[in-house]
Structure 1
Amino acid sequence: MAKDKLRKVGEVAPEFHLYEADGAKVSLSDLLGENRYVLLYFTSTEEKSRCDRSGCPLKENLEKLIELDVTPVLIDVDPVEEHKRFKHDHNIKFLMLSDPAMETIKGYGVYEKVNIHGIEKEKIVSTAFLINPEGRIVHVWEPKKIEDSIDDIINAVKKLKGM
């Protein structure tokens, strides 16, 4: 991973302007609000596709997150059209944002360069950021899979809210 570029706890979360499956442009500042946290989850297409083979932890825990005033947002490189189809096929209710140019992905430092058959490519390293209502990063998780961290995420929000 681009460890030297990975955003850290305490830093201001970089603003972004990305498109959602319905075609709407979404920014971080649109999502933040009084007592509202944002959970940004950067993931690879391969991990996202596991939702058709196994559980989808963000989907399965959406109600718990909403009750805690957390807006979960998945960001990957897939095009808007793919997100639209995926959300429909899997009844996904959380935001899925498209970053095909990897500008936001690189801005958060959640990528690594890999060599595939002699060709150097960049790929996303699954990472979750919890951003507080003031726009600061308050937690960072680097799970192999989101289900490895979903309970920690929920508990971290409860602790921050004094629950």
Structure 2
Amino acid sequence: MAKDKLRKVGEIAPEFHLYEADGKKISLSDLLGENKYILLYFTSTEEKSRCDRSECPLKENLEKLIDYGVIPVLIDADPVEEHKKFKHEHNIKFLMLSDPAMETIKGYGVYEKVNVHGLEKEKVVSTAFLINPDGKIVHVWEPKKIEDSIDDIINAIKKLKGI
């Protein structure tokens, strides 16, 4: 991972302007305007495809996250059209933002360079950030897959909220 560029606890989360599956442009500042915590989850296409097998921890814990005042947001490099199809096929209710140019992904430092058949490519590294209502990063998780951290994420949220 681009460890030297990975955003850290205490930093202000970088702003973004990305498109959701319905074509609406979403920015971090729009979400923060709702005075809630934001769970930004960056993922690769390979990990997201596990929802095909009903292993979608954000989906399974959506109500709990919302009840705790958290807006879950998935960001990956897939185009908007793929997100629209995916959300429809899997009944996904959380925001899925498209970053095909990987500008936000790189801005948060959640990528690595890999060699694929002799070609160097950039790949998203699964990482979750919890951002407080003031736009500050309060937790960072670097799981190989979200289910490795979903319990830690929920416990951290409960602790921050005094629940």
**TM-score (normalizing by structure 1):** 0.98
Hey, what does 1:136 align to over in structure 2? 136
The corresponding residue for 2:47 is: 47
C-alpha distance in 1 between matches for 2:161 and 2:65: 13
- Give me the identity figure in percent: 88
Aligned residue type for 1:76? D
Look up the match of 2:23.
Answer: 23
- Which amino acid in 2 is paired with 1:120? E
Q: CA RMSD in A?
A: 0.8
What is the CA-CA distance between 1:33 and the residue it aligns to? 3.6
* Aligned counterparts, 1:3-22, within 5 A: 3-22=3-22
- 1:117 shift after superposition: 1.2
Q: 1:34: Cα distance to partner?
A: 5.8
Within 1, Cα distance between the matches of 2:97 and 2:148? Answer: 22
* Residue 80 in structure 1 maps to residue 83 in structure 2: no
1:1-163 matches, within 5 Å, as: 1-33=1-33, 35-163=35-163
Q: Report the CA distance between 1:53 and its aligned residue.
A: 1.7
Cα deviation for residue 55 of structure 1 reads 1.5
Stretches of structure 1 lacking an aligned partner (at least 5 in a row): none
TM-score (structure 2 length as normaliser) = 0.98
| Offset, 1:54 | 3.6
Q: For 1:61 and 1:123, how far apart are their aligned partners in 2?
A: 26
Amino acid of the structure 1 residue aligned with 2:150? I
Provide the C-alpha distance between the structure 2 equivalents of 1:89 and 1:110, rounded to a whole number of angstroms: 27
Alpha-carbon separation, structure 2, partners of 1:128 and 1:101 = 19
1:72 counterpart SS class: strand
Letter in structure 2 aligned against 1:24 = K
> Secondary structure of 1:18's partner?
strand
